[in-house]
C-alpha cells in the first residue's frame, strides 16, 4: 500500500475508533481549594517549554500531511484554528515529503497559513540527520518532533522491523540541529528506562504520548487480515508516564499527550509537572465531524477549562500549578506505588 493511502486510512480508522474506556486522568484528583486570591484577568496561559515560549499550554499534536489534497486541506484548517487561538501546531510525519517532493505542499500549507506561529516538524526515528534538517527547513519549524512508534510498526503489516541504529541516529540529530528536538510516543507512553536512555544522548524534551486516547494498535489492527488484538491494551497511561519521566529526569521539559480530553486534564498534567499538553485525535474528530468554526470554539473552551483550574488553585502563571495538592486512585495509584519511589 502507498504511504499516502496509508495516511488516509489512519485518519479514517482514528476517527471511527471505539473509546478505550480508560483514562488515567480519571484516577487523579486535584484537591479543591475554597479560597483564591487572584483576579481572572490576571491569569496568563503562557508557558515556557524549554527554549520555546508558548502563548497557550495546549497545542495540536502531530497528525497529518503526505496524503495529497485531502491532508493539505486538513492541515490548512488546523493551521487556521491554531492561528486564531494562538496555539502551536505539529504536522504529521514528513517522511513522505522527504521521499516525494510532491507531498511537500500538504505540510507547507501550515506555515503559509500561520507565518508567525509556532510550528513543530515531525519525522520518524529512522530519519537521517539530513532528512531531519530538511524537515525543519521545509516548514521553518520552531522545533522538531521525532516519533517513537515501535509497536505501531510491528502491527503494521508493511512496518519497519530493523531498529538497530535508532538511538545513534537520534543522538546525531539532537546534537546537530539548531531547534529543540522533542522525542515523542504515539499513544504507548514513555517509561523511566527509555527516559534514562534519551537523557544520556542529550534529549531534554519528551512528549509522553501515553495510553488513554488514540490507540495505534487498534488503528493498525483494523488494517490487518489477522489482527494482533492482544496488543490493543498495551502501553503506559499518560498520568503514569509523566510520573515515570519526571521521577528520573525532573528537569526534563515534559509534554503531556495521549487521551487529553479537556482543559482540566491539561491542568492536571501541569500539576504533575508538564510544560505543555497536546491533543490530536479529538481535535481531528471535531474538525472532520463538525467544522473549523466548531474546532476554534472547542479550543477556546479548553482554554477556559484550564483557566478555571488555575483560578481555583490560585495560580496566575501556568508553572505555579506544578505540585498543587492531588491524589491518585485505582490502577494509577497501584502502578505508581510499584514503580515510583519519589511519590
Binding residues: 6-7, 62-64, 93, 122, 152-153, 184, 214, 259-261, 280-281
Nearer to ligand FMN, 199 or 261 (CB): 261
**All three cell numbers of 295:** 474546532
Nearer to ligand FMN, 190 or 313 (CB): 190
Nearer to ligand FMN, 287 or 313 (CB): 287
The one segment of 55-63, 80-88, 223-231, 311-319 that binds ligand FMN by CB under 6 A = 55-63
Long-range contacts, 139-143 (Cβ 8 Å, 24+)? 139/91, 139/94, 139/107, 139/108, 139/110, 139/111, 140/111, 141/179, 142/52, 142/88, 142/118, 142/179, 142/180, 143/52, 143/118, 143/179, 143/180, 143/181, 143/182, 143/205
- Residue spans of alpha helices (H) in 201-329: 216-221, 238-248, 263-271, 281-289, 292-312
Q: Which residues inside 166-205 make contact with ligand FMN, applying CB under 6 A?
A: 184, 186-187
Q: Which residues inside 252-281 make contact with ligand FMN, applying CB under 6 A?
A: 257-260, 279-281
Please state the closest distance from residue 16 (CB atom) to ligand FMN, in A: 11
Residues with Cβ within 8 Å of residue 316, at least 6 apart in sequence: 38, 42, 43, 44, 310
Q: Smallest Cα–Cα separation from 149: which of 171, 128, 127, 131? A: 127
Per CB under 6 A, the list member of 23, 45, 72, 92 interacting with ligand FMN is: 92
Residue with cell 521521499: 99
Q: Is the alpha carbon torsion for 54, 56, 60, 62 positive or negative?
A: positive
| Cα–Cα dist 244/250, whole Å | 10
Per CB under 6 A, the list member of 4, 71, 214, 286 interacting with ligand FMN is: 214
| Cα–Cα dist 291/92, whole Å | 20
Please state the closest distance from residue 110 (CB atom) to ligand FMN, in A: 13
Per CB under 6 A, the list member of 81, 98, 284, 336 interacting with ligand FMN is: 284
Residue 36 contacts residue 314 (beta carbons within 8 Å): yes
The one segment of 56-64, 96-104, 243-251, 319-327 that binds ligand FMN by CB under 6 A = 56-64
Q: What are phi and psi of 38, to 5 degrees?
A: -125, 165
Q: Which residues inside 22-51 make contact with ligand FMN, applying CB under 6 A?
A: none
Nearer to ligand FMN, 18 or 37 (CB): 18
Annotated binding site for Mg(2+): 153
**285 sits near ligand FMN (criterion: CB under 6 A):** no
Q: How far is CA 310 from CA 88, 193, 307, in A?
A: 21, 32, 5
* Stated length of the chain: 343
The one segment of 43-51, 167-175, 207-215, 303-311 that binds ligand FMN by CB under 6 A = 207-215
Please state the closest distance from residue 257 (CB atom) to ligand FMN, in A: 5
**61 sits near ligand FMN (criterion: CB under 6 A):** yes
**213 sits near ligand FMN (criterion: CB under 6 A):** yes
Nearer to ligand FMN, 1 or 343 (CB): 1
The one segment of 6-14, 101-109, 227-235, 242-250 that binds ligand FMN by CB under 6 A = 6-14
Q: Is the alpha carbon torsion for 9, 25, 87, 147 positive or negative?
A: negative
Site for ligand FMN, rule CB under 6 A: 10-11, 14, 61-64, 92-93, 122, 145, 147, 184, 186-187, 209, 213-214, 257-260, 279-282, 284
Amino acid at each position: 500500500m502507498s504511504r499516502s493511502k496509508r495516511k488516509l486510512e489512519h485518519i479514517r480508522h482514528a476517527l471511527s475508533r471505539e473509546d478505550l474506556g480508560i483514562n488515567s486522568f480519571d484516577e487523579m484528583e486535584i484537591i479543591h481549594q475554597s479560597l483564591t486570591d487572584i483576579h481572572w484577568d490576571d491569569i496568563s496561559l503562557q508557558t515556557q517549554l524549554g527554549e520555546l515560549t508558548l502563548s497557550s499550554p495546549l497545542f495540536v499534536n502531530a497528525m497529518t500531511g503526505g496524503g495529497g489534497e485531502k491532508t493539505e486541506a486538513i492541515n490548512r484548517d488546523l493551521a487556521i484554528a491554531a492561528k486564531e487561538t494562538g496555539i502551536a501546531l505539529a504536522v504529521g510525519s514528513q517522511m513522505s515529503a522527504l521521499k516525494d517532493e510532491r507531498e511537500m505542499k500538504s505540510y507547507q500549507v501550515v506555515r503559509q497559513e500561520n507565518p508567525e506561529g509556532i510550528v513543530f516538524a515531525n519525522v520518524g526515528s529512522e530519519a537521517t540527520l539530513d532528512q531531519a534538517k530538511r524537515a525543519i527547513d521545509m516548514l521553518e519549524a520552531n522545533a522538531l518532533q521525532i516519533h517513537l512508534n515501535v509497536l505501531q510498526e510491528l502491527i503494521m503489516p508493511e512496518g519497519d522491523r530493523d531498529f538497530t541504529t535508532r538511538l545513534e541516529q537520534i543522538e546525531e540529530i539532537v546534537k546537530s540541529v539548531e531547534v529543540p528536538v522533542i522525542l515523542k510516543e504515539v499513544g504507548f507512553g514513555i517509561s523511566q528506562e527509555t527516559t534514562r536512555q534519551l537523557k544520556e544522548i542529550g534529549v531534554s524534551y519528551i512528549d509522553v504520548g501515553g495510553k488513554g486516547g488514540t490507540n495505534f494498535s487498534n488503528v493498525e489492527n483494523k488494517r490487518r487480515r489477522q489482527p494482533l488484538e492482544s496488543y490493543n491494551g498495551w502501553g503506559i497511561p499518560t498520568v503514569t508516564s509523566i510520573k515515570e519521566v519526571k521521577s528520573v529526569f525532573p528537569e526534563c521539559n515534559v509534554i503531556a499527550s495521549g487521551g487529553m480530553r479537556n482543559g482540566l486534564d491539561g491542568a492536571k498534567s501541569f500539576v504533575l509537572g508538564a510544560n505543555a499538553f497536546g491533543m490530536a485525535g479529538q481535535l481531528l474528530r471535531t474538525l472532520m465531524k463538525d467544522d473549523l468554526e466548531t474546532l476554534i470554539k472547542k479550543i477556546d473552551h479548553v482554554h477556559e477549562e484550564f483557566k478555571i483550574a488555575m483560578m481555583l488553585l490560585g495560580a496566575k502563571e501556568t508553572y505555579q500549578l506544578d505540585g498543587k495538592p492531588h491524589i491518585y486512585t485505582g490502577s494509577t495509584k497501584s502502578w505508581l506505588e510499584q514503580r515510583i519511589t519519589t511519590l
